[in-house]
């Protein structure tokens, strides 16, 4: 089987390592020609996960049409703001029935579309689209550390195909029919992780982080439920599982961004220092706008946005959250009638 992996960052490199190790012929697309050349010459990515040795079956290219030509499945692993562009780039070379699974976690700014909605608009045929999300740090997956994830597809047979594609003895894959919940969960948890990092940067303790994570999960579930997601999805790998790992791990770039900002840094300086994209920064804007468009408040997300882009301080934002009016813990989740 030939698989195209579109995106050669840390997660794309880990996916190429996993699929190449299963015996698939993998073509890895890198935006930068020098990364593609380095992979082909040394069987390792010269920029990301430099210590990971890729199987000889993994070949790289910086030409996207060449990457997807003849592929029997396509894995999109770019930052969310790049999904539309790569979709347009591969649209002329990709047959309409080839399954495409998106691993990017975000909601597009402006259009407020989920990633499979973006791909449907650009390459068509929603039935062949899917999303994969879970507590899957690339650094650990690329070392064979036991991990699990879930894949949500619009059609059951596509979900089963992708489940088989990714499943290994150390990478367990579950299916889920809730594409909306899986995608929104993956986007939302990054914002909560930025807030958790800010708590770390301010020197707050375990109580504060646990509160942010728990109320963040409620916020995620409320937004998802209003947009048609199954609330139970947020109890699973794409919700609580991913939230836990992203809020607590040393590998989490979103948690690290929050800590960086709480100590006086900015989104721009973090990106310049790490050469990493923290999806939670863009998602704080798009998710806040999405919630506003349906008349909802998502207060933690709104405060993260105000800190990152409007000059508010993390300590002031914390005081705003702690000073909100009293409410039932389960409000807005279809279990009680009270509104916050």
Q: Which strands sit side by side in the sheet containing 73-76, from one edge to the other?
A: 58-61, 25-29, 2-6, 73-76, 100-102, 129-133, 147-153, 171-176
Domain match, 85 and 203 both: no
Q: Categorize the per-residue pLDDT at 154 as very low, low, confident or very high, splitting at 50, 70 and 90.
A: very high
What pLDDT, on the 0 to 100 scale, is given for residue 336?
41
Residues in the chain: 340
Domain match, 58 and 163 both: yes
Q: What share of the chain is helix, strand, coil (3-state, %, to 5)?
A: 55, 10, 35
Domain match, 170 and 230 both: no
Strand (E) or helix (H) holding 61: strand 58-61
What pLDDT, on the 0 to 100 scale, is given for residue 338?
41
- Structure-block tokens of residue 89: 């780039």
Q: Judge contact between 119 and 83, C-beta under 8 A.
A: yes
Residue 71: partners with Cβ closer than 8 Å, 6 or more residues away = 2, 3, 4, 27, 94, 98
The mean pLDDT value of the chain amounts to: 94
Over 80: is that where the pLDDT of 73 sits? yes
What's the pTM value of the predicted model, to 2 decimals? 0.92
What pLDDT, on the 0 to 100 scale, is given for residue 158?
98
CA dihedral 175, 249, 5, 188 (to 10 degrees): 60
Over 90: is that where the pLDDT of 35 sits? yes
- The CATH number that applies at residue 293 is 1.10.1040.10
Domain boundary among 125, 142, 177: 177
Tell me, yes or no, whether 331 lies in a domain: no
Domain match, 213 and 308 both: yes
Domain match, 36 and 108 both: yes
Give the position of tokens 């062949």: 128
82-130, pLDDT tens digit by residue?
999 999 999 999 999 999 999 999 999 999 999 999 999 999 999 999 9
Please confirm, yes or no, whether 282 is among the known catalytic residues. Answer: no
What pLDDT, on the 0 to 100 scale, is given for residue 332?
65
Mean pLDDT of 62-84: 96
Domain match, 108 and 205 both: no
Catalytic residue among 22, 105, 189, 209: 189
Domain match, 169 and 242 both: no
Domain match, 124 and 206 both: no
Q: Judge contact between 206 and 213, C-beta under 8 A.
A: no
Secondary structure (DSSP) of 114-150: BHHHHHHHHH--GGGEEEEESS--HHHHTTT--EEEE
Question: What does residue 6 show for φ and ψ, rounded to 5 degrees?
Answer: -100, 100
CA 311 to chain centre: 26
Q: Categorize the per-residue pLDDT at 263 as very low, low, confident or very high, splitting at 50, 70 and 90.
A: very high
Tell me, yes or no, whether 340 lies in a domain: no
What pLDDT, on the 0 to 100 scale, is given for residue 147?
98
Strand partners of residue 150: 133, 174
Neighbours of 10 (CB within 10 A): 22
Cα gap 11→204, rounded to integer Å: 30
Task: Answer positive or negative: Cα dihedral of 192, 197, 203, 207.
Answer: positive
Domain match, 209 and 139 both: no
300-331, pLDDT tens digit by residue?
999 999 999 999 999 988 889 988 888 888 77
Over 60: is that where the pLDDT of 160 sits? yes
* DSSP-based three-state secondary structure for 167: coil
Over 80: is that where the pLDDT of 339 sits? no
Residue 91 DSSP symbol: T
Which domain does 48 fall in, by range? Answer: 2-177
Neighbours of 145 (CB within 10 A): 12
How many structural domains is the chain composed of? 2
Domain match, 18 and 163 both: yes
What pLDDT, on the 0 to 100 scale, is given for residue 337?
40
164-223, pLDDT tens digit by residue?
999 999 999 999 999 999 999 999 999 999 999 999 999 999 999 999 999 999 999 999
Of all residues in the chain, the percent with pLDDT exceeding 90 is 89
Mean pLDDT of 15-28: 98
Give the position of tokens 């935006």: 31
Domain match, 28 and 163 both: yes
- The CATH number that applies at residue 33 is 3.40.50.720
- Structure-block tokens of residue 103: 């691993």
What pLDDT, on the 0 to 100 scale, is given for residue 333?
63
Domain match, 117 and 256 both: no
Q: Judge contact between 278 and 187, C-beta under 8 A.
A: no
Strand (E) or helix (H) holding 195: helix 179-201
Tell me, yes or no, whether 338 lies in a domain: no
């Amino acid at each position: 089987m030939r698989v195209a992996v579109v995106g050669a960052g840390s997660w794309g490199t880990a996916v190429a390592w996993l699929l190449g190790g299963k015996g698939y012929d993998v073509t890895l697309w890198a935006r930068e020609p020098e990364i593609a050349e380095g992979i082909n010459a040394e069987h390792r990515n010269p920029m990301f996960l430099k210590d990971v040795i890729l199987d000889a079956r993994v070949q790289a290219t910086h030409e996207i049409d060449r990457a997807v030509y003849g592929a029997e499945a396509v894995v999109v692993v770019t930052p969310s703001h790049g999904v539309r562009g790569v979709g347009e780039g591969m649209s002329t070379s990709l047959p309409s029935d080839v399954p495409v699974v998106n691993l990017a976690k975000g909601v597009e700014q402006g259009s407020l579309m989920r990633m499979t909605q973006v791909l449907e608009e650009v390459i068509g045929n929603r039935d062949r689209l899917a999303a994969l999300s879970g507590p899957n740090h690339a650094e650990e997956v690329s070392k064979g550390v036991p991990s699990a994830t879930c894949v949500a597809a619009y059609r059951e047979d596509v979900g089963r195909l992708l489940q088989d594609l990714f499943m290994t003895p150390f990478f367990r894959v579950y299916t889920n029919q809730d594409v909306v919940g899986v995608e929104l969960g993956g986007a939302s948890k990054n914002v909560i992780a930025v807030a958790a990092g800010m708590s770390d940067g301010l020197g707050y303790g375990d109580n504060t982080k646990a509160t942010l994570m728990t109320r963040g999960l409620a916020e995620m579930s409320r937004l998802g439920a209003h947009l048609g997601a199954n609330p139970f999805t947020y109890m699973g790998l794409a919700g609580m599982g991913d939230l836990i790992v992203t809020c607590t791990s040393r590998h989490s770039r979103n948690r690290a961004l929050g800590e960086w900002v709480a100590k006086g840094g900015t989104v721009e300086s973090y990106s310049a220092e790490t050469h990493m994209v923290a999806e939670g920064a863009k998602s704080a804007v798009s998710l806040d706008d999405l919630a506003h468009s349906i008349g909802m408040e998502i207060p933690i997300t709104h405060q993260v946005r105000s800190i990152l882009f409007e000059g508010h301080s993390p300590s002031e934002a914390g005081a705003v959250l702690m000073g909100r009016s009293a409410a039932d813990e389960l409000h807005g989740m279809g279990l009680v009638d009270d509104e916050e």
